[in-house]
Structure 1
Amino acid sequence: MKTLNPAVTEAKEQSSKARPAHWVNVCSTKDVPEGTTKVCRREGKQLAIFALSDGYLACNNRCPHQGYPLSEGCMTEDGILTCNWHNWKFDLKSNGKNLKGSESVRTYPLEVRGGDIWIDVQDPPFEEQYSSLVGCLEKSVRDNSYDHIARELSRLQLLGADLTDLVAKAIEWTFDRLEYGWTHAYAGAADWLTLFDAHMGDPEKQLICILEAVGHMADDTLRRPRYPYTTNFRPYSSVEFLDAIEQEDEDKAVSLLRGALDQGLHYPDLEEDLSSAALAHYNDFGHALIYVAKAGQLIARLGEQSEMPILLALTRSLVYTTREDQIPQFRHYSIVLNKWEACGNETTARWQDFRDLSINQSLEKTESSRSNDPTVIYEALLAANANNMLHFDLGFQDSTTNNIDDNVGWLSFTHTLTFANAVRSQCEKFPQLWPSALLQMACFLGRNKPYVDLNSPQENWSVSSPQAFYQDALEILFDHGKEEFIVSVHLLKTLLAARTESLHADVETRHLVTAAMNRFLGSPMKRKHVLRTVRQARQTAKLDL
């Protein structure tokens, strides 16, 4: 749940009181002849004083860009100060306005009294500072400037702002710039906030969590226009909502969602319908259900202020998600789902029996095991999928001659664990969804079968202490070194999913899940396939002829 930051409360209470000026004597005018600069340190501030022909100007000595001394810059008679390191320019006669960006330098009121220079070093009220910094943060998000986002978040953290509020604001700034709704950025934000809460008292790690969450949103919406949602309302109906999503009617689905929220319904009231919509098809290789589960986590953490934008973007993604069960490879899914009955043959669900099965065989095996408790089938499928991940044949990610259908890499395998995590979360709440969820886990299993080498020895990846393994692995996230957000967010989401599922699994399944994660973290990951891309593009182009 959202918690109130005591520092924010104290700062706001103080800012509501009158703020008298705080003038300090910094130096004599004789110390700053015309055309020179002097640096003074007063009240914990490093001040640069510039003597012009018509008077004096004062500002923070450190450039807001990278902290270089502005006293080493160039000043014009018009009050334009240039930082010579990166040519940033500030108009000190216009409150330090940055002429090349949004990060202004702070200027100070200055008076000459009896040959001495006095400066008012009183800080502005909290609300004024907060509003200014949030405006700069929004500009940094629009520009997708990772370093700038980090600086503004750092300033807000030092001010005493609640950093989780800034995640909520980032969602407000980006939710209508996602043309097809949710992305990994929002799902990742839920998990970064989990780590944020786990590191109370560690401002550096907490700042990393918020930076990665906000930075990913900025990256996914760079140069994106607004894609407005309908503002219409309809009285909510579960049947109509699910049908609107099935018919890919965004306006109707959104108007029903707005009607639900207007009626006082909230995510917990809508969760069953959202989960049902996510599992109505083998949607986007499991992403739909993952997003539904993460939406709940995100709303619970950020509060109802973020519920509307989160659910609008989620609904849009459910409308436009790809439906893999409609392609020939997975068409058997619907056939098997339609013949699923409450009871079946007395077949024990053992993960070993799911090894080396095709998609259709995996589906049939799952259906024939339906007499077992769903959680037993779930664990067997989880273990079998983890075993596939453990035995991923790395030759496929390096191949340059394969067909587009066989473009498989590590991230394709990680979805088996993150989807499984969402399956258990949602199906324990809504048991009627187990059949479709389990069969979709079977789809993962069969789909990955051609890309594994079950005969390859993988004993070296075994982990003796899963708890220590996950603790050490999660530490890597705070300096992961991955340039692409899509890679770092998969590290994050898969680690947290695997850790959670390991806690619920038996010893053998825990061993397989943790070993698979260990191999994933310890193996090379090829992300850019220049030669393969060109060869596949040429093949596709020939089909047009």
Structure 2
Amino acid sequence: MAQNEARFVRVATLQELQSRGYMTVQLNGNTVALFYHQDRVYAVDNRCPHMGFPLDRGTVRDGILTCHWHHARFDLASGGTFDQWADDVRKFPVEVRDGAIWVDVAPHMDVVAHQQERLRVGLERNISLVIGKAVLTLLEEGRSPVEPFRTGLEFGARYREMGWGQGLTMLVCFMNLLPVLETEDRPRALFHGLAAVAQDTAGHAPRFTVPPLPDDNADLATLKRWFRQFIEVRDAEGAERCIVSAVRAGADHRQMADMLFAAVTDHRYISTGHPADFTNKALEALDLAGWELAEPVLTSLVRGYADASRMEESNAWRYPIDLVQILEHSFDHLPEALEVGQVRRQNGRMALPTRDELVAVLLDDDPQASADALLDALRRGMAPDALAGVVTYAAALRIARFHTSNEFGDWDTALHTFTFANAIQQGLRRAPSPELARGIFDAAMSVYLDRFLNIPPARIPALNGQRPTQPPALSELTALLDRQQQVNQAAQWVAEYLASGGSLPPLLAQMGRLLLREDRDFHTIQTMEAAFRQVSQTDDPTLQGHFLIAAIRYLAAHSPTVRSQGQTYQIAYRLHKGERIFEEA
């Protein structure tokens, strides 16, 4: 290619360099450091690839150039680094002609390919700065985020022995948030997700997947039955082989979702809902990255199923009211309720309860009434995913009404119910089944158990009160979250913004930006992503407002953080723009 053809430029005399030992010259906007060492001339970019320190202020010994800021070491001849956190420094070909030094200034590197490799290095060694610099290059000029996302997804699925965890969940959450963010915030979001994967896999052994059964035409119904049996007895290896065999047999995303979610809901609210959310996120990840990664991604979920705690073994779900008994009785009637409701939907003879009627029952103090109301709604023709949406809304109201007199850790109790309910709804939208519909009831029981977190209930600011003349400035929300525990104040600000006719997209983008400036917190990220997903699924301003009030209250409760991760990203950004990080006194 033309850009790889040598373009030599005369830069200095050999005598001048020999007398000084080193010098710098300006070439095509770059500062190039020239070194005379062991009777040879070398030329490298003067900016240390780690953080931009001038390399002409370093030391050369035995062919190794050492930067004096963080002591990164480079082979002077090739530019290769001995410290992977630093990256290779660009070296320039040199010729000496008739006592003059000529340097080739033509580019000889595929920058994108190099940064793809650097991203892998950052993931392998858990180096956030390397990840940040790679992401900024890979997303430059409108490039798709799918490829770096795919790299992180595959890495996380293969290099964590325990399988799918918080890191991959955060990566998918941030990927889902990209469309609502401003363009300049999207690399930061992907940086956070990929850095979370690196942190989550650091120090872990890799996973080794099992092969499929020899017969690649295995019956999917049988594999589903076997899969559930293996999870029942906590046999992860046998369950993994069922997944791989089903994928090889041609199972699509709906069939695989049906298999996985059935096992997730065979027991009650396993591991406080995380396996359901992880399953939903894994399927969403494959929607984005491609089904060819199904085997490593879906098998990464299995340990979470097999090792999960089961709420039928929990005192809170058994005493003083046996919630599991209520659920099991409801499940006996669930197939009939679903069948009757489907007939009514097909015949157009529905008489559905209102959302507010159902929510009032769900937020009350009677779990049996909640279960009965859910069955009745299904019989009257409410679609399972719509009913799950009502339960998700009730769970969000627990967060919107969470009183700050509670222990701080109880924010997570309310959060778990909300993200579980959201995952069940998204699963039902993808692959509805009687087994997965059980999750609606589990979520309702968890909403019931969370009732004490609303005693007394925090006031939800009115969304239809007196309208200000114009929406408050977004900068006011930013300032609020610079101070600790501005929970109710932030909720009031969001309500006033929406009540005054403030546009939804800028608000979502600003809330996303405020999330990104904080240090990564798994549950806060889950809350925001689930709330934004719910907002995208409804045109009802009241529902949208309540979901966003819940989200901003949770974010405000967990802000501000030290913001160290943002500092790392900002350094990467400044280096990407060619700014000088090192400043002399």
TM-score range, shorter chain: 0.7 to 0.9
**Counterpart amino acid of 1:395?**
S
Matches within 5 A, 1:103-118: 103-118=87-102
- The yes-or-no answer on 1:373 pairing with 2:381 is yes
Distance 2:232 2:554 in 1: 36
Deviation at 1:436, TM superposition (A): 0.7
What is residue 93 of structure 1 aligned with on the other side? Answer: 77
Residue 396 of structure 1 pairs with residue 406 of structure 2 = yes
Q: Which runs of 5+ in 2 are unaligned?
A: 342-350, 463-490, 563-585
Q: Report the secondary structure of 2:65's partner residue.
A: strand
Q: What is the match of residue 220 of structure 1? A: 200
Partner of 2:556: 522
Following superposition, the deviation at residue 198 of structure 1 comes to 5.1
Long gaps (5+) in structure 1: 1-13, 399-407, 529-545
CA offset digits 1:471-526 (Å, max 9, x no partner) = 4244343353332442452354233234234x26x455444333323332333579
Confirm or deny: 8 A CA contact 1:336 1:363 kept in the other structure: no
Cross-structure match for 1:293 = 280
Q: Using the alignment, how far apart are the partners of 1:347 and 1:478 within structure 2?
A: 39
Match of 1:231 in 2: 211
Aligned to 2:530: 494
Query: Is contact 2:519–2:561 with CA below 8 Å preserved after alignment?
Result: no
Contact 2:358 / 2:373 at 8 angstroms: preserved in 1?
no
Residue 177 of structure 1 contacts residue 226 of structure 1 at CA under 8 Å; is this kept in 2? yes
1:364-418: CA deviation from partner (whole Å, max 9, x where unpaired): 55446553434564454334323222221323324xxxxxxxxx43233223333
Supply the AA of the counterpart residue of 2:428.
C
1-structure distance, mates of 2:27, 2:366:
73
Q: Distance in 2 between matches of 1:394 and 1:114?
A: 79
Q: Could you say which residue in structure 2 is the equivalent of 1:267?
A: 253
* Aligned residue among 286, 289, 294 for 1:302: 289
Equivalent position of 2:510 in the other structure: 475
What is the match of residue 189 of structure 2?
Answer: 209
Could you tell me how far apart the structure 1 residues matched to 2:230 and 2:206 are?
23
**In structure 1, what residue type is equivalent to 2:410?**
G
Give the drift of 1:312: 1.7
Q: Cα distance 1:195–1:351, how it changes in 2: closer, same or farther (>3 A)?
A: closer
Normalising by structure 2, we get a TM-score of: 0.75
> Which one-letter code corresponds to 2:362 in the other structure?
F
Superposed displacement of residue 183, structure 1: 1.7
Residue aligned with 1:289, SS = helix
- The amino acid that maps onto 1:352 is A
Greater Cα shift, 210-219 or 326-335:
326-335
Distance change >3 Å, CA 315–CA 500, structure 1 → 2: farther
Partner of 1:164: 146
- Percent of matched pairs sharing the same residue: 19
What's 1:67 paired with? Answer: 52
Instruction: Note if contact 1:28-1:115 (Cα within 8 Å) is conserved in structure 2.
Output: yes
Match of 2:27 among 19, 31, 42: 42
Q: Aligned partners of 1:206 and 1:513: how far apart in 2?
A: 23
Partners of 1:435 and 1:169 in 2: CA distance:
34
TM-superposed CA distance for 1:468, in Å, is 3.5
Does 2:361 align with 1:353? yes
Quote the offset at 1:106 in angstroms: 1.7
Counterpart residue number, 1:437: 439
- Amino acid of the structure 2 residue aligned with 1:249: D
d(CA) in 1 for partners of 2:235, 2:531 = 35
How far off is 1:448 after superposition? 0.8
Q: CA deviation at 1:147?
A: 1.6
Whether contact under 8 Å (1:358, 1:449) holds in the other structure is no
TM-score (norm 1): 0.81
C-alpha separation in 1, matches of 2:531 and 2:122: 29
Q: Pick from 203, 228, 242: which aligns with 1:256?
A: 242
Deviation at 1:59, TM superposition (A): 0.5
Distance 2:364 2:256 in 1: 38
Counterpart of 1:5? Answer: none
Give the Cα–Cα distance (whole angstroms) in 2 for the partners of residues 369 and 155 of structure 1: 51
**2:36 is equivalent to residue 51 of structure 1:** yes
- Relative contact order (alpha carbons < 8 A, sep ≥ 6): 1 or 2 greater? 2
148, 151, 158: which is aligned to 1:176? 158
Residue identity in the other structure for 1:68: F
Shift of 1:190: 2.4
Cα shift at 1:251: 1.5
Q: Are the equivalent residues in 1 in contact too, given 2:239–2:302 (CA < 8 A)? A: yes
**Structure 2 residue identity aligned to 1:195:** L
Q: Please state how far the C-alpha of 1:207 moved relative to its aligned partner.
A: 1.5
How far apart, CA to CA, are the structure 2 residues paired with 1:449 and 1:210? 36
Matched residues in 1 for 2:437 and 2:38: separation? 81
Output aligned runs, 1:186-197, within 5 Å. 186-197=168-179
1:185 to partner: Cα distance: 2.4
Please list, as runs of the form range in 1=range in 2, the aligned pairs for 1:389-468 lying within 5 A after superposition: 389-398=399-408, 408-428=409-429, 429-433=431-435, 435-459=437-461, 461=491, 463=495, 465=498, 468=503
Query: 2:473 maps to which residue?
Result: none
The one-letter code matched in structure 2 to 1:219 is Q
Moved more, 218-227 or 376-385: 376-385
Distance in 2 between residues matched to 1:525 and 1:336, nearest whole Å:
43
SS in 2 for 1:210: helix
Question: 1:336 is matched with which residue: 323, 329, 334?
Answer: 329
